[in-house]
């Protein structure tokens, strides 16, 4: 049954749970995924985001999220000035390309000339979000719980290896999904867990035969 605090809640910065609160969470998630200081952020907006972002403050909320502000942080309103202080250059582009969803944003985040990441996400409504792509790689990260995503060779034993490791660490798996682009191509595994996963465990997972890369996400 739904909690009364989901009925009268959440506490959020207006005006829109999808275009403002969701945007702030997308920004915060992108910041966490980038994991480095952001010196420049280019945000491309699609669909309804592109058409209404100035009226909804979507731009301010995205930047607020990139600065680490939560969806109920009153500073979202003034995020541009904060970004300026932090020497983060921000740019917005509008695109009419059809991304298959009405509220999509693509972040290109830079740390000087050294590193760059492209992160694509969508706002699903009611403040719910999903990161769908990291550097061209399809993902499904909602920021609702702790999650790891691994890229591995499509070979037997990988899934069991990873879930076994989590079991040994007493970390409960709340959901798990494995998918791949083609048979025997690289496979992607999404595992959500009830609690955080520490660095040592992540390293062990990375060492499971067949696993090529592991990404870890905490809730935002």
Partner 1 sequence: MDYSYETIEDILRLCQEEKLTFDQVVLRNEMNQFERTEEDVLAEIDRRLDVFEESVKEGLAIDSHTPSGMSGKQAKQLEAHVPLLLGKLAYKAMTYSIAVNEANAKMSRIVACPTAGSCGILPGTLLALAEERELSRDALRKAFLIAAGIGAVVTERACVAGAVGGCQAEVGTAAAMTAGAVVGLLGGNERQIAQAVALCFKNLLGLVCDPVAGLVEVPCVKRNGFYSVHAITAAEMALAGIKSQIPADEVIEAMNRIGRSLPAALRETSDGGLATTVTGKAIAEHVRNL
Q: Which residues bind partner 1 (CB under 8 A)?
A: 1-17, 20-21, 48, 51-52, 54-57, 60, 72, 74, 76-77, 125-126
∠ CA(116), CA(117), CA(121), 5° rounding? 150
For residue 123, the minimal CB distance to partner 1 (Å) is: 13
For residue 144, the minimal CB distance to partner 1 (Å) is: 17
Nearer to partner 1, 49 or 216 (CB): 49
Integer Cα distance of 70 and 78 in angstroms? 13
Nearer to partner 1, 129 or 214 (CB): 129
Please list, residue by residue across 154-169, b when 16 or more beta carbons sit within 10 angstroms of its beta carbon and e when fewer do: beeebbebbeebbeee
Nearer to partner 1, 16 or 132 (CB): 16
For residue 69, the minimal CB distance to partner 1 (Å) is: 12
Nearer to partner 1, 23 or 205 (CB): 23
Residue 191: CB atoms within 10 Å? 22
For residue 102, the minimal CB distance to partner 1 (Å) is: 9
Nearer to partner 1, 70 or 145 (CB): 70
Integer Cα distance of 44 and 40 in angstroms? 13
Query: Are residues 65 and 26 in contact, defined by beta-carbon separation less than 8 angstroms?
Result: yes
Nearest to 26 by CA among 59, 52, 50, 51: 59
For residue 56, the minimal CB distance to partner 1 (Å) is: 6
């Amino acid at each position: 049954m739904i909690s009364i605090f989901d009925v009268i809640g959440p506490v959020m910065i207006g005006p829109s749970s999808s275009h403002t609160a969701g945007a702030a969470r997308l920004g915060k998630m992108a910041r966490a995924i980038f994991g480095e200081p952001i010196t420049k952020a280019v945000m491309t907006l699609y669909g309804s985001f592109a058409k209404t972002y100035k009226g909804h403050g979507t731009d301010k909320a995205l930047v607020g999220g990139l600065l680490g502000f939560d969806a109920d942080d009153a500073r979202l309103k003034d995020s541009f000035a904060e970004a300026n202080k932090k020497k983060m250059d921000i740019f917005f582009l509008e695109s009419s390309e059809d991304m298959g969803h009405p509220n999509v944003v693509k972040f290109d985040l830079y740390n000087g000339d050294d590193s760059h990441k492209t992160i694509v996400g969508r706002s699903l409504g009611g403040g719910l979000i999903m990161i769908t792509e990291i550097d061209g790689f399809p993902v499904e990260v909602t920021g609702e719980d702790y999650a790891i995503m691994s890229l591995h060779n499509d070979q037997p034993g990988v899934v069991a290896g990873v879930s076994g490791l989590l079991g040994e660490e007493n970390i409960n798996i709340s959901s798990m999904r494995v998918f791949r682009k083609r048979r025997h191509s690289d496979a992607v595994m999404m595992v959500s867990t009830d609690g955080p996963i520490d660095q040592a465990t992540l390293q062990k997972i990375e060492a499971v035969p067949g696993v090529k890369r592991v990404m870890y996400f905490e809730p935002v």
